[in-house]
Amino acid sequence: MRLVKLWVLVLGLGWGLVCWGEQGAGVDPGEEYFQRGEFELAVGAWEEARLKLDPEKSPADYVDLSVNLAAAYQSLGRLREARNVLLCVEPCIPKNDSLRRAAVKSQLGDVYLVMGDSRPDNVQDDMMDNKIPCPINFCDVETITPPKPENNVVQACNYLEDALKENLVDKPLLRANILNKQGNVLVAQKKYEEALKKYKESVTLANQENDKALAINASLNGVQTTIDILWAYRKNVCFFRQIAEDVIEANEASVNIIDDIKDSKIADKLEKSLQEMQQAFNVDGNNTPFVNILQQGIKTLKGSIGESDLDKIINSTQAVLNLLKEDGPKTVFQQQVQKFLVTQLATILKQVQATNELKPYDKAFALMSVERLVQMLQALSTKKAQSCPLPSRLEVLKSLRLEQTQKLPVCSLSPLTQEEQLRFNALKEAAEVAKITKNSNIQAYVGGYLAQLYAERRCYEQAIQLTRRAIDSVKSYLPLNTEDFEKLWGYPDQLYRWEWQLAIFLKEQGQTPLKEVMVVYDRAEKYLQSVRDHYRSLPQPFLEDAIQFYFEWADLLLQVADKEADLIKKTGLLKKAIKGIESFKESELRNYFKDDCSVGTYKEHLKGVDRILPAKTAIFYPMMFDDRVELLLSFANSERSDNIIKQIKSPVVPKVLRQAAETLRKKMKPGYPTLKANDDPDLKVSREYVKYFPHANKLDEGLIQPVLSILHENGINTLIIIPDKFLRSTPFATLCKNCGENDKDNADRKKFLFQRYVLVIAPGWELTDHGQPQREKDWSLTLLNGLKNPKSTSCSSPPLVANHCTTGDVTTTLDFGELPNVTEELNNLQTLLGVEDENKLEEDKFKRHSVEDKLSKTAFFMVHFATHGYFDEDKDTSFLLACDGQLTLDHLQTLFESPVVQENPVELLFLSACQSALGKEPQAALGLAGIAVKAGVRSAVGTLWQVSSGESTRLLVEEFYGKYKGGKVSKAEALQQAQQSLITKESFYDPFFWAPFVLIGNWQ
C-alpha cells in the first residue's frame, strides 16, 4: 500500500537531487527538465553532459551528474539503469569526500528499495557474467559487477546505514533525506514504529533547515505508515478471529489445540498491533475505554496460554473474540483513528498550499498524494474493509465506489463529506498547477484521480469523460514526437492504468456492450505487457494490481464467450481467456515472490517446449468469480494441432464451495485426529467426530461432476489442476463421489478422485515443463538431506548478529518437533537408489553451506529433503529447516542457479514434511505451488500439511521412489500408486495420511 513512494511517479526524488551540494553557477537544463517532471529530457541532457565531462579533471561534478541522472532514471521506473549509473561511480569517489559517498549510497538505497526483491541481474541483455560496462573509464573502472543480495530491501538498508555513517555534521538536509528513506525501508520490513521515528526526525531536521518540501514528503510518508499500521491491525484482527473460531470449534470436538494456539502466536500478534496503533494514533485506555478492555483481554489470554490451561484459554479467547466482533466500542475506536488521520492530512494540505518554495511538479504530486491518502482512509471505513478475510487494497477501493453509488440514486456532487471535500480541493489546486505549467503529465493524473471521485458520486458520464481526457493527455505528453522517443518513453504504465479505469467505469455504468468494454481491456493489456517488456524491475503495488487486472480481464472474456454463438469466435475468446488466466496465475507468483524476474526466467527456459497436450491429458482451470464458478477444460484435439477448450458453469456457488474447501482442509489438519497420550502419531486414528466426507462430496459435486462426461468421452486419465484462490490448499485427492462414513469402503470402491485420475498440480500451464526428462535417469545422483531433531545441540543455530537491516529468523518463533522416521527414510532411500554416503546429508551434516557445496559440484538428478518445511503468506518467512537455520525460497533459488544445475536441471525436488502457516493456507500455498518455478526444477513433490514423517510418510516415500525407479510409470503415476498402496493398509486408509502429498509441475 505504498502510495506515496511507489505508485505515483516517485514523489520527492527532486529532493534526492544534489540540492545539498554547491554546484557550479550556470543554468542546468537537466535540472530544469527534472523539476518540470520531464524526466526523459532530463536523462537526455544529463547523459550528454556526462559524456562531455572529463571525470579525471572534474570528478566531483561527474559524481553529482551521476546522482542526478540516476534520480531521473528512477523517476521513469528504469531502475536497472539508475543502479548501474551509481555503481559505476561509487568506487571512484575519494575517501575524503564523505558527502558524495553518502549521496551515492543514499540514492543506491532508494533504488534497491524500489526494486524490492526483484533480481534484475538475471535478465538476458546484461553482459556476460553480469558485468556491466561503464560509459567512461573513470578511475580505471571499465566494468562493474552488481551485487547479488538475497534481499534487495536488506541491501537498501545497508546502503542507507553506510550513508549515515559518513561525516554529515554540516549537511543536515542530506541527513534528513537519508532518514526519510530509512523510514521507507523500515516500512517495507513492517517495522512501523521505527519508521515513524525516522520520519519524525526527518521532518524536524527539514523544518530546522526551512526545507518545507522535504518536511512535507516525510510527513506524507508518516501518514502513509499510520495507514499501514491500521491495515496491519485489521489483518491481525482477522487472523485472530479465524484462529479463535477454529480453536473454539476444535475444542467443541474434543481436540487438543493448545499447541496450535501457541504456534499461531495470535495473542502476541494482536498485542503488537494494538501497541503500534496506540503509538501511531495517540490513543490509550483513558480516552478510549475499548483499548483498555482489549489490552486486559489479551493479557488474560496470554496468561492462560502460558499456563496451558485449556478451559481458561477457551474462555479468554472467546472473550477477546466477542470484543473484536462488537460494533459499538470498536466503531468508536475506529472513528477516532479516522478523525486523527483526516486532521493530519488536512494540516498537510494547508502546508502544501501555503508553501511557495515547492516546485510546481513537486507541489502537484504532493497535493495528489494527500488526495490518494484521504481516498484510502475513506475506503478503510467501508463495510468491505471491515470484513474477514481482509480484502486487497484494490478490492477495498472498489468497495468505496460501489457502496457510495448504492446510496445515490443519481449523479450528485452535493453535499460532499469532509473527506471528499479535502480530495476535491487537493485535486482542484493540482489542476491549477497543471494548467499554469501546461504539463499534460500532471493533467493526466489529476483527470484520472478526479474521475474516481466522480465515479464514487455515481457520475459515470463525467468520470468516463475525464478518464478519456487523461488518456489523451498522456499521449500528447511526449515532448519529442519521434518513433524512437515514443518507444523509450511512451508511458505505457499510465496508459495501462487509465485504459483499465475506463473499462471499469464503462462496465459499471452498464450502458456499453460487454464486447466494447472488452476492447478497452484488450488495449490496457497491451500496455501492461509493454510495461513488463520495458521495465525490468517493477514495484510491489504494480505487481499486486496486475493480479486484479488479469482476473477482471479473464472474467469479462468468459462472460462474452458464454454468450457467443459462433463456435470459431467462441474458441478464440476462450483462448484469450486462458491467456488472461495464465497471466493472472503468473502475476500471483510474481507478487508472492516479490520478483518479476524468476518467473520470467523460468518461462524463458520453457520457450522451446511444445505447448500441445499429450493424449488423455487435460488441463483443468476451476475459476472462482464473485457470482459464479467457471470450469475450463483444455485437451488435445486429435484432428488439429491446437487444443480443444470447453467452458462449463458449476451448479454450486463460490460461497458454498469455499465453505466446503475450508472445512475439509481444516478437518485434515494435524491435531484433528484423536490420538491417545504417548501413542505413535501414525497409529490408527479415530474419526468418529470428524465428518469430512460431506465436504469432499460437495467439492466433487461442484468441480468434478460437471465435467465428468467430457472427461469420459475423451478418455482423459490425467488431470493437470491449476487451482484458484482457496482451492490452492485443497487436497484434491480426497474429492469423493457419494462417499459415506466408512473410509475403508470409500477406498475399496475407488471413490476418491486420485483413484479415478492421475492428479498433477501446476501453478500455470505456461509455467509447466511437460516434456520427457532431458537427461539420463541416474538414480544414484540423488542428494538426500534430512533433519530428525531440530533441537539437537549439534544443530543449534548460531546467534543472530544484531543488525537493523535483518528481519529476523522465523525458526526462533516456531516450535519444531522431532521427525521420528527421518533416519530410516534416508537409509532406505540410500539403499533403494544406490546413493553414495557422501551424498547423504543428515543432522549436523545437513547445513546450508553443505547443500550449496554439493549442488555447485555435482549434477544431481533428484534432491530430497526430509525436514520441516514451512510456507507462509510471505515468501521471506517460508523455508526449509536445515541444521544451522532456514533455507529460504531465495536461498533455494540461489542454490539451484549454480552453473552445474543450470546445465543439468534437477528432475525432481521432494519435500516430505511441509506445512502451511496456520490460518493462512490459501496464500501460503503459493509458496509450495511455485517452489518448482522458484528453484528452477522440473517438478516437485510436497505436502499440504505435515504428517510427522512417521511410518506412513516413510512407506509412501519409499513406494513412490520404488515405482518411479521401476521405469514403467511417470512421476504422477508413481505418486498415485504410492497413495493407493498406503490406503490399502488398515492403519493408514484415513485421508490424513495419504491426501497431503501433491506433485507439482512436470508429471512425466
* Statement: residue 640 has pLDDT above 80: no
CA separation for the pair 922, 658 (Å, rounded) = 11
**Which has the closest alpha carbon to 113: 763, 765, 741, 594?**
594
- Tens of pLDDT along 757-777? 999 999 999 988 887 777 788
Cell 490408527, residue?
684
What is 771-795+814-1001's CATH topology? Answer: Rossmann fold (3.40.50)
10-61: per-residue pLDDT in tens? Answer: 333 343 455 444 444 456 889 888 888 888 889 999 999 988 888 888 888 9
- Low-confidence winner among 448-452, 553-557, 598-602, 641-645 (lowest mean pLDDT): 598-602
Mean pLDDT over residues 195-208, rounded? 96
Lowest mean pLDDT of 581-585, 703-707, 818-822, name the range: 818-822
Could you tell me which residues are beta bridge partners of residue 880?
869, 887
Extract the C-alpha cell encoding 866.
526430509
Average pLDDT over residues 114-138: 58
Measured distance CA(652)–CA(701) in Å, rounded: 8
Provide the pLDDT for residue 9.
33
Domain ranges (residues) in the chain: 21-170, 478-596, 654-765, 771-795+814-1001
Give the model's pLDDT for residue 631.
98
pLDDT bucket at 117, cuts 50 / 70 / 90: low
Distance of CA 314 to the CA centre of its chain: 34
Q: Does the pLDDT at position 680 exceed 50? A: no
Q: Is the pLDDT of residue 812 over 60?
A: no
Contacts of 536 (CB under 8 A, 6+ apart): 79, 80, 118, 120, 123, 596, 597
Residue 799: per-residue pLDDT: 43
Q: What is the pLDDT of residue 800?
A: 41
pLDDT band, residue 236 (cuts 50/70/90): confident
**In 491-567, which ranges are E strands?**
none
Summarize the confidence of residues 486-500 as an average pLDDT. 79
CA quadruple 896, 897, 902, 904: dihedral, nearest 10: -20
Question: Which triple of cell numbers denotes residue 441?
Answer: 503529465
Four-residue CA torsion sign, 984, 985, 988, 994: negative
- Alpha-carbon distance of 115 to 91, in angstroms, equals 22
- What CA–CA distance (Å, rounded) separates 456 from 470? 18
Phi and psi dihedrals of 694, rounded to 5?
-60, -35
Q: How many residues does the chain have?
A: 1004
Q: What is the pLDDT of residues 918-975, one digit of tens each?
A: 556 667 777 887 888 888 889 999 988 877 557 888 999 999 999 999 888 999 999 9
Q: pLDDT tens digits, residue range 847-904?
A: 999 999 999 999 999 999 999 888 887 887 888 999 988 888 888 888 888 889 888 8
Whether the pLDDT of residue 740 is over 60: the answer is yes
Q: Determine the distance from the C-alpha atom of residue 207 to the mean position of all C-alpha atoms in its chain, rounded to a whole number.
A: 37
Q: What are phi and psi of 637, to 5 degrees?
A: -100, 115
228 in Cβ contact with 221 (< 8 Å):
no
Residue 795, pLDDT score: 72
> Is a pLDDT exceeding 90 seen at residue 116?
no
Q: Which residues of 489-517 are buried (b: 16+ CB within 10 A; e: fewer)?
A: bbbbbbbbbbbbbbbbbbbbeeebeeeeb
pTM of the prediction?
A: 0.89
pLDDT at 793: 61
State percent of the chain over pLDDT 70: 84
Task: Return the closest-CA partner of residue 869 out of 922, 945, 929.
Answer: 945
Query: Which position has the higher pLDDT, 967 or 221?
Result: 221
Q: Has residue 252 got a pLDDT over 80?
A: no
Which 3 state secondary structure label does DSSP give 649?
strand
Tell me the CA end-to-end span of the chain in Å, nearest whole number: 42
pLDDT at 1: 31
Confidence grade of residue 150 (pLDDT, cut at 50, 70, 90): low
**Cα(893)–Cα(871) distance, rounded to whole angstroms?**
15
Band (pLDDT 50/70/90 cuts) for residue 669 is low
Q: Which of 219, 333, 328 is nearest to 283 (CA)?
A: 333
Longest dimension (CA), the chain: 89
Asked if pLDDT for residue 712 goes beyond 70, the answer is: yes
What does pLDDT average to over the chain? 84
Instruction: Quote the pLDDT of residue 814.
Output: 61
Give the closest residue to 3 by CA, choosing from 593, 385, 545: 545
| Mean pLDDT for the stretch of residues 198-218 | 94
Res 654: pLDDT: 95
What percent of the chain is modeled with pLDDT above 90?
46
Q: Please report, as a single letter, which amino acid is at residue 735.
A: L
Instruction: List Cβ neighbours of 502 (8 Å cut-off, separation of 6 or more).
Output: 464, 467, 468, 471, 520
pLDDT of residue 876: 79
Residue 193's closest CA among 277, 131, 73?
Answer: 277
Judged on CB neighbours under 10 Å (0-12, 13-18, 19+), 210 is exposed
Give the pLDDT band (50/70/90) at residue 253. low
Tell me which CATH code domain 21-170 carries. Answer: 1.25.40
**269 contacts 352 by C-beta, under 8 angstroms:** no
pLDDT digit string, tens, across residues 340-360: 899 999 999 999 999 888 889
Contact 1000, 672 (CB under 8 A): no
**298: pLDDT strictly greater than 80:** yes
Distance CA 585, CA 582 (A): 5
Q: Find the DSSP H helices in 739-845.
A: 743-748, 753-756, 822-833
Q: Are 120 and 84 in contact (CB under 8 A)?
A: no
Q: Is the pLDDT of residue 256 over 70?
A: no
Best-predicted range by mean pLDDT (50-59, 264-273, 501-510): 501-510
pLDDT at 641 over 90: no
Q: What is the pLDDT of residue 920?
A: 60
